[in-house]
Structure 1
Amino acid sequence: MSNSAAFAQGTAIDNLDDAINRIGFREVFKLVGVAAASDLFAVQNRAYQISGTRLWENALACGLAIDQLAGKLGYDEQDMYTLGLLRSIGKMAIDLCLSKKGNAPHYPLAEQLPILEWESRAIGTTNPKVASFLLASWNFSEATAQSIQHQYLDGDLDSCSVESQLLNLACFIVEKINKGLPGETGYWKPVAFYCESLRLQVNDLKHVLGSVRERLDEILQNIND
């Protein structure tokens, strides 16, 4: 990657220090996230009937979107990028647990039920609650765990953190570029809500949307090449 056209400066490099210096630590952090998410979401998620590719592209796109939104509002971009990558970790854990049971429930794609409604009824818990528990167990900060738990903004909006709202907005943007996940559409807010709550302009959202689409296409093209 560091020798690609995007980063080349006339000479090839062959050691990690030079690569990091050329690309920059922030970009390296993102590249590691891309690789980690690719491995993490490589398996078909049977409980939710989502391909590993779809999960990975959604995670990556959410990471890219929230990273850019964070930059506009002065929040830590690496922390926000991590939120985007890990937002569906609860779905993976649920799928793993259900795969060990016979006659396990599967999300009814044809019905497109709200995902939290289906999870509560069929499983007895929800993917953001499971994600929050896992992240807390892995010693992620409470803020990170809580932000992912409240990513759907399904509770009292006044108590939802800015990070949760940013993650919700990132998911909204990702759905607009056709990388959304089943059963989630109803949890994203109107554009006016995001603009008022986060003090963003419509043009800010349009810019992020276009940039995420372009960057995601670039990453996927590099991987396919």
Structure 2
Amino acid sequence: MIATMPPRESLLRAVRNLSAAPMILARLGRMVADVDTPIEDITSMVKCDAALTTRLLRIANSVVYSSGDPCGTLEEAVLRVGFTEIYRLTGFAATTQIVENRLGFYGVTAAQFRENALLTALIVEQLAAPAGVDASTAYTVGLLRSIGKIALDRWGRTPGIDRDYESSGSGPLADWETANVGMNNCEAAEIIMSDWLFPASTVEAIRHHYQPTEASRLASLLNFASGAAERCGHGWPGERFYWNATPEQLEACGVSAADLDGATRVALEAFGPVRAAVA
């Protein structure tokens, strides 16, 4: 029996009290793409979330990024690392604020959520260049690809729904989600990220990355990166069924198996220090 799909407003209400960091990231992405954006606009946007600002400064002053005197203000951090890197750092900081508690509907801890998001983002970012895709956009889809799971986790913990994938699931995750809450996490992500005004290309890549078509290169790259993260021991339960990239699919995106292996190695080298910085 397929469960009743949650109403759109109920789904949005489930994530309404999330950190503002993902929405700030959406707006910041448009700003950093314009080299004429004043630094004051960048910092004003980030300062909308005091916790994000604090965490961003701490990351900028960590051993991973700091090579001199500590940054005392957000303006100093932006000047030190540049627009593109401040966007990346904001993404790192946002990762730690997206989810703080175990996702009981899936049996996944907050740390596992963050590690999967971060490693996937780092891998797909590395794949962007050979595929001819914008690196910042690629990084964003990797970072936020599981945002729909947060909404379904909260919806799935409503009275009368007491099942979880950890104890009752065995097949493809999207099928289990649809059977239990009437919607899969990719569909939920599409609703949420559209409401948050992310670019259509970002939304569509996440919506279709379980079963990407040749027309969606970004969705395919996200699929490849998600599979690589799983092979590195940082996957999600029930998702292994979707990561079956063929040489033909890789070639259609302009990347090779060697590119994917190389992207994974580079990402893993950055993963440890960055994970420590955002912990």
What is the number of residues matched between the two proteins?
221
How far apart are the structure 1 equivalents of 2:168 and 2:159? 23
Question: Could you tell me which residue of structure 1 aligns to residue 179 of structure 2?
Answer: 121
How far apart are the structure 1 equivalents of 2:231 and 2:66? 33
Q: Residue type of the partner of 1:208?
A: A
Secondary structure in 1 matching 2:192: helix
How far apart are the structure 1 equivalents of 2:126 and 2:69? 30
Contact 1:90 1:131 in 2 (8 A): yes
Contact 1:42 1:56 in 2 (8 A): no
Residue 169 (structure 1) shift: 0.9
With over 3 angstroms needed to count, the CA separation of the structure-2 counterparts of 1:33 and 1:45, relative to structure 1, is same
Identity of aligned residues (%): 30
Deviation digits for residues 153-192 of structure 1, max 9, x if unmatched? 16xx34x511110111110111121111110011012351
Residue 2 (structure 1) shift: 4.0
Deviation digits for residues 99-151 of structure 1, max 9, x if unmatched? 22234321145753210121122222111001101111222222222211101
Q: Residue type of the partner of 1:168?
A: N
Farther-moved stretch of structure 1 (75-84 vs 184-193): 184-193
Q: Residue type of the partner of 1:171?
A: S
Within a 5 Å distance, the mapping from 1:11-160 to structure 2 comes to 11-109=69-167, 112-153=170-211, 157-158=213-214, 160=215
With over 3 angstroms needed to count, the CA separation of the structure-2 counterparts of 1:96 and 1:22, relative to structure 1, is same
How far apart are the structure 2 equivalents of 1:47 and 1:162? 31
Deviation digits for residues 65-92 of structure 1, max 9, x if unmatched? 1111112323221112111111111110
Deviation digits for residues 18-61 of structure 1, max 9, x if unmatched? 32232222222111111111111221101111111101111111
1:166 to 199, 216, 221: 221
How far apart are the structure 2 equivalents of 1:9 and 1:50? 35
With over 3 angstroms needed to count, the CA separation of the structure-2 counterparts of 1:209 and 1:124, relative to structure 1, is same
Residue 9 (structure 1) shift: 4.8
How far apart are the structure 2 equivalents of 1:69 and 1:84? 11
TM-score by length of 1: 0.88
Secondary structure in 1 matching 2:165: coil
TM-score by length of 2: 0.72
Secondary structure in 2 matching 1:102: coil
Q: Which has the higher contact order (CA 8 A, sep 6+)?
A: 2
With over 3 angstroms needed to count, the CA separation of the structure-2 counterparts of 1:111 and 1:136, relative to structure 1, is closer
Contact 2:92 2:118 in 1 (8 A): yes
Query: Which ranges in structure 1 are unaligned for 5 or more consecutive residues?
Result: none
Q: Tell me how large the CA RMSD over aligned residues is.
A: 2.1
Question: Could you tell me which residue of structure 1 aligns to residue 34 of structure 2?
Answer: none
Question: Could you tell me which residue of structure 1 aligns to residue 263 of structure 2?
Answer: 208
